[in-house]
Structure 1
Amino acid sequence: MQDDLVQKLKSDPNYHELVRVRSRFGWALTGMMLLVYYGYILLIAFDKEFLATRIGDGVMTWGMPAGLFVIVFTVLITGVYVRRANKQFDDLTQAIQKRVQA
């Protein structure tokens, strides 16, 4: 019984589309996150003077907004993924379930 279900699932074109779209989107977001995070780490490693430069006449340096940007960016791309998953990915999953269970 399980083998029949697996074969139905593997033969469903919506399943292949879901895997393709979700994988591509996940890798794109992963690449963006790696770029931002490692960019920040490389900035810390190779340009400490820039991060230590004060903004205006205050005591805040460029390191604070740069670090905050990394955190906010992480939250934002998580939200982007969840939003897309709740719309497109869930619709495809429901279509797959309907077709496979029929």
Structure 2
Amino acid sequence: MDERQVEQILQNPKFKQMVSKKSTLSWTLTAIMLFVYVGFMLLVGYNKEFLMSSFSGGVTTWGMPLGLSIIVLSFLLCGVYSYIANNKLDPLTKEAMREVEAIANEKGPH
């Protein structure tokens, strides 16, 4: 593959759309997880009293359900990514790859 073909692939609208959508999805989900995790860590650092207070009047504190919810959120975000990737991004990737393969198989001047 020569430089002209690489440039054609990089300028291909389907390829650009695929890269843009994957990047947007990845960064959005990363930002959500980072926001929640950093928020929890700030809560641990600056408001321990709240986390140590009783959740239901018993021995369970607020820290337990909040910590578990972060774990559950990470699984949910993985599920969201998988669903979107399989149903929205895979068809777009296949279209883009067909066009990329067509460009790669072109015979340019030697």
Shift of 1:26: 1.2
CA RMSD of superposed structures (Å)? 1.5
Aligned to 1:27: 27
- 5+ long unaligned stretches in structure 1: none
Work out whether residues 54 and 61 of structure 1, in 8 Å CA contact, stay in contact via their aligned partners in 2: yes
Work out whether residues 29 and 77 of structure 2, in 8 Å CA contact, stay in contact via their aligned partners in 1: yes
Percent identity at matched positions? 40
Q: Deviations over 1:22-60 (max 9, x none)?
A: 111211111111110000000000110110111223211
Work out whether residues 55 and 62 of structure 1, in 8 Å CA contact, stay in contact via their aligned partners in 2: yes
Q: Give 4+ residue runs of structure 1 displaced > 6 Å after superposition.
A: none
7-16 or 76-85, which moves further after superposition? 7-16
Larger Rg: 2
Query: TM-score normalised to the size of structure 2?
Result: 0.83
- Equivalent residues, number: 102
Work out whether residues 18 and 96 of structure 2, in 8 Å CA contact, stay in contact via their aligned partners in 1: no
Name the CA distance, whole Å, in 2 between partners of 1:8 and 1:91.
21
Work out whether residues 9 and 96 of structure 1, in 8 Å CA contact, stay in contact via their aligned partners in 2: no
AA paired with 1:97? M
Name the CA distance, whole Å, in 1 between partners of 2:39 and 2:6.
42
Describe the SS at the equivalent of 1:68: helix
Query: TM-score normalised to the size of structure 1?
Result: 0.89
Shift of 1:5: 4.6
- 5+ long unaligned stretches in structure 2: 103-110
